[in-house]
Structures are given as structure tokens and as C-alpha cells.
Amino acid sequence: MADGNLEEAFAWVKRQLRRELWPREKQFIETGGEACPKGFKSSNRERPRTDDDNNRFDARLIRWLLTQEIPGIICRPEGVTVMGLWIEKTLSLGYVDCERAINASNCTFQEAPVLRNAQLRGLYLTGTALPGLDAVRLTCNGPIKMNKGFVANSCIQLGEARITGQVDCGDGHFASQKGPALNLSSAEIGADVFLNDGFTARGAVKLVRVQIVGQLTCDGGRFDATDGLSLNCNAAVIGADVFLRNKFNATGRVDFIRAQVTGNLRCQSAHFNGAFNAEGAKIAGGFFWENISGKVVVLDLTETSVERLNDDSGSWAKVKTPKLSCFRFDSIQSDMTVQDRLNLLGRKWERDIPFPNSAAPKRNDFDPQPYSHLAKVYDAMGHRMDAAKVRYARDERLMWATFFRALAPPKPDTFGQGLAFVSLVWGCGYRATFGYGHAPFKALRTALLILAATVWLANATYQRGEMAPANVDILLSEDWKDAINNGCPSIQTASCTMPLRLWENTPAGKDHEAFSPSIYALDLFLPLGTLAQKDSWAPSKNRGAFGWTLHYCRWIIQLSGWLLIATAAAVFSGVLGKKD
């Protein structure tokens, strides 16, 4: 926009350049900031591959125009527009308040622009090739577009930038031989960030401590690490969703450590080769881990909190080592069964128990928190049986871990180790009978097994005549004395009859309480004392192996009955059993 004599402006620029003006430079001055080669079509824009008189341009003219150094020339209100040009020298706008937008689309820059601490109304580099960019602490009151074929072969530095609009790098290609390919660390972005639709980065993309008001979209982007890190969003604050979907591909570590995401973190139909670390992240929406391919060396969700967990078994199978300590979620939307969840938790990373003897076998410690939290979520969702299965698996592993920890102190404590063995025995019995309090009806199975064995033993003892009346008056009666004198002296042989068989035929024997193996077993097992069998009959320990066995086993049977019933009462009343 000419405000004076163009000849004066041309003469001033020629003195600064020390040469004649090129055609695009004259066009730029005449129009007040707009230039493009002849024949450049908006429908088929391509950046120049070589320089010629039709596209050659000196970047310094942009600075001189924006800083009003060219006499009589005022920049257009919409800003500078140069398209399809071969731009030489350095565009240096460090600390310059331009109050204009710069549109340098489909250009080829020979030197990296310097926009450090500059102020712009917008930066449009669509389809442009840069050898790098230094825009640290740039203030941009509009969008930044490095998309649709944009190419950078060195780091694009936008650290600590303040950008009110979008950052659109869709189909942009970023590479760096050393350091990050794209650095937006500590930037404040007032809209969305797009690293999608063919976006590629060879070198890390750093979004450390970035604040994004909108969403972060990486759908279809490819991130290849050169130093082990492909996408770094540590401590990022993202005001909407994060999308790593639709053929998203990361080779190298992806970090969302301590990130805060207001929406969802969606990892769907994505390919990972490396670690995924979201330790301490807070995701207000859902965490989606679905249709994952590749090989995830570690998925670290330590102390990560999400509202909803959406996942599938196939995606977890791609994870070699899941770290799930203190991973919290409020609900689950998944087709995974409780057994799938238990298989996953069985693979989670655990610390090693330190044994004093280096030759001792390696033992893993056990962190019960992921099991407890999963059971709590199942309870909240109404899946009580699944919650009980999870708690049962937790307490079984906790029992063994506690036992091995007791064997591991640097100075072995004999008394402590003895208590550990007692505790292990109690734990195994508690598991078999009550499922650690989470499957109390297992006690019914145990009781039925004990009763069935007692019935069989009592019946066999009675049939062999190795039982006797338990009443003292009967044992002192003449009928019983005659049976003793006329019957077998001890163990039955072919030539004698057991005293019980002889006594049963007497009037007193016929009127005595009839023996019932089932009721006798119940009378022994149940601590009731009201069935009149154990008070009426007793095994004879000297008349055969069955009598001897039942004589001594009845104390064990009675004790097991007392223990089972007392423990059952404690479990059902809530005194015993792990209640989360």
C-alpha cells in the first residue's frame, strides 16, 4: 500500500540490498505486502523446487515492511501474503510487534525464520518448506498453520508461545537430526491442536506442560522417535479430548505423565512400538484402549485416574508389562470377563522380595490395590459374584506373598517364620472352607464331605460290631456281661460273634436307641447335643481298626464342626472376611 513515491521506496530497498530489485520484490512493495509468481494458481499450489527470476525473494523485505522502515509504504491491514516464493536470507522478527498476520504459504525458505518474542496476528505456512523455526515465546493472536504438505527438516521451536487460535499441523512433515522435531512445551493454545491426517514427525514431539483449551488430535499421525521419545505430553493440560486413533503410529515412548485431560483419552485402532506412560495422569472422561496393535513394552497407569475404562483383551495382550498400582476408574465398559481381568492382573508388574541369599529363588511381592479397586467397581456396578472372585484371587496371592516376605528378612527370625507357617496353614484351611470369607458357602461343601466320611466310617464300624452302648447302666447289666463272656474277646474271628450282635437280641438291646450312621455323624459334627446318638453309642477302640479309627477321629470331627460353625457365624456376621 503506497503512501508516497514508489521510486523512493524502491531506491531505499535497493540501497539496503545493494542490488537491483527482483520482480516479486517490486510486486511486494507496490501492493503493500503481497507477492506470488506469475502463473501461481490457488487451485494447484506448489512450492518452488528451484529459484528463478519469477520466484526469488529476500525475506528481509517482510521485516522492513512490518516495521514500517520502507519509506512511504504501509503494510496491508490483513498482513503479509507471499505465496509460491523462493525466500532467501533470514526472516528476523525477534521482539517485533507486527500487529499483522504472515501468510507464507507454499514457499521455500533457505534459512530458518526467527520469530522469538515476536507478536503476530496469525502465521500461515501451509505447504511451505522450512529449515527450522525459532518462535520461542511468540505471541500469536490467531492460528498457526503448518499443514497440507508443510515440511521442516530441523526443529520447529514454539516453546512458551501464546497462541489464541488453532495449531494445525495436519499432513505436515517434521524432522530433526538432533533434538525434537516439534516443540510446543509450556505453550498456551486457545483452541485445538491438530497433528493428524498424514502428520509425520521424525524426532520427538514435545508438548510438555502445554495448555490446550481445545482437543489434541493425532488421528492418523506417525511419530518416530530418534532418542527414544516420540510424543511427550508430560504435565500437559488439555481442555477436551485426546485422540490417538485411526492408524495412529508411534515408534518410541509415548508419555502423558501427570497430564490432565478434561475429556477422553482415546487409544483406538492405534499402533505402538515402545512404552506408553500415563503415570499420575488425571482423565476426567474415559480411557479407551481398544484395537491396539504392535508391541507395548510397558503400559504404565500407576496412580492414573479415569472416569471410565473401555478396553479389550486383545489390546491388553499387546502389553508386555502392565503397571497398574493405584490405577483408579469409576466404571467399566468392556466385553472382558472377570477371568480376563484376573489374567491381566496376574501379569502386572510387582516388586521383588529381597532375599538375603542371592542364590534363593526370585519371588515377586504383591500389591493388592488393583484387585481391591476392581472388586469395588464390580460391586458398584452390581456384579457381586465377580467382585467376590476378584477378592478371592487377591487374598490367595496376598497369603503367599506374606508368607515369603516373612522368610526374607536379612536376619531370619525363627519365631516369626514359625508364625508364618502357622498363618499359611490357617490361610489354606480358610481358603478351602470359606474362600477367605468371599465364598462362605464353600463351608457347606466341606461340611458335607466331613459328614459323608463320618457316615461311612460310623456305618462300617457298626456293621463290624465295633460299637458299644455308651450307657453305664447297660455296660454293668447282666445282659451285656453275658454278651462279653459269650462273644469275641477282642477282634472278630470266624468262630465267634461280636458282643454287640449278641446283646442286640436281648430285650434291653431291642429297646435301646437304634443306631443311625447319619444321625450319629450329625450328632458328632453339630455342637448341639440333642440327637441322642453320641450319648447312646460309642466306638470300641480295642475291637478293630474301624472302632479304633472312629474312637480317635470323633474328637477331630467334633472340633472341625465347632470351628466351621463358629467361623461361619463370624463370616456371615462380618467379623471375619476381607470387607472392602
pLDDT tens-digit readout, 179-218: 899 999 999 999 999 999 999 999 999 999 999 999 999 9
Region of 363 please: left (phi>0), alpha (psi -120 to 50) or beta: beta
Strand partners, 194: 168, 217
DSSP 348: S
Domain spans of the chain, in order of start: 83-327, 369-437, 442-572
**Residue 391 phi, psi dihedral angles, 5° rounding:** -65, -35
Q: Choose the weakest-confidence range: 157-171, 387-401, 518-532.
A: 518-532
* pLDDT of residue 2 exceeding 70: no
Q: How confident is the model at residue 79, as a pLDDT?
A: 93
The mean pLDDT value for 526-536 works out to 78
- Are the CB atoms for 136 and 163 separated by under 8 Å? no
Say how far apart CA 438 and CA 306 lie, in whole Å: 27
The DSSP annotation for 25-69 comes to HHHHHHHTSEE--TT--TTS----SS--TTTEEETHHHHHHHTT-
CA distance 571 to 61: 85
Model confidence at 470, pLDDT cuts 50, 70, 90, reads: confident
Query: Smallest Cα–Cα separation from 498: which of 551, 529, 456, 540?
Result: 540
Query: 276-285, 463-472, 493-502: which has the highest mean pLDDT?
Result: 276-285
Q: Residue 579: is its pLDDT beyond 80?
A: no
Bridge-based pairing state of the strands 467-469 and 537-539: antiparallel
**DSSP string covering 428-481, please?**
HHHHHHHGGGTSTTHHHHHHHHHHHHHHHHHHHHHHTT-EEE--HHHHTSHHHH
Give the count of alpha carbons within 13 A of 205, CB side only. Answer: 27
Q: What is the mean pLDDT of the chain?
A: 89
| Average pLDDT of the segment spanning 175-179 | 90
What is the spatial distance between Cα 344 and Cα 299, in angstroms, rounded to a whole number?
12
pLDDT band at 137 (very low <50, low <70, confident <90, very high): very high
List, as own/partner pairs, every contact residues 551-558 make where C-beta atoms lie below 8 angstroms and the sequence separation is at least 24, other chains included.
Answer: 553/454, 553/457, 554/524, 557/450, 557/454, 557/521, 557/524, 557/525, 558/524, 558/525, 558/527
The residues that bridge with 58 in the sheet, in sequence order, are 88
C-beta of residue 114 within 8 angstroms of C-beta of residue 89: no
Task: Express each pLDDT in 20-79 by its tens digit.
Answer: 999 999 999 999 999 999 888 766 678 999 999 999 999 999 999 999 999 989 999 999
Grid cell for residue 531: 440327637
pLDDT attached to residue 577: 56
Nearest to 157 by CA among 200, 190, 114, 104: 114
Say whether 72 sits in a helix, a strand or coil: coil
DSSP-derived secondary structure for 559-575: HHHHHHHHHHHHHHHTS
CA pair distance 228, 454, nearest whole angstrom = 67
pLDDT at 192: 97
CB 381 within 8 A of CB 332: yes
Closest CA to 444 of 567, 552, 553: 567
Q: Please give the pLDDT value at position 128.
A: 96
pLDDT band at 575 (very low <50, low <70, confident <90, very high): low
Q: For 191, which DSSP code?
A: S
> What angle in degrees, to the nearest 10, is found between the helix axes of 517-525 and 442-463?
130
DSSP codes joined into one string, 101-124: EEE-TT-EESS--B-TT-EESEEE
Looking at per-residue confidence, does 531 or 366 come out higher? Answer: 366
Closest CA to 48 of 91, 2, 86: 86
End-to-end CA distance of the chain: 75
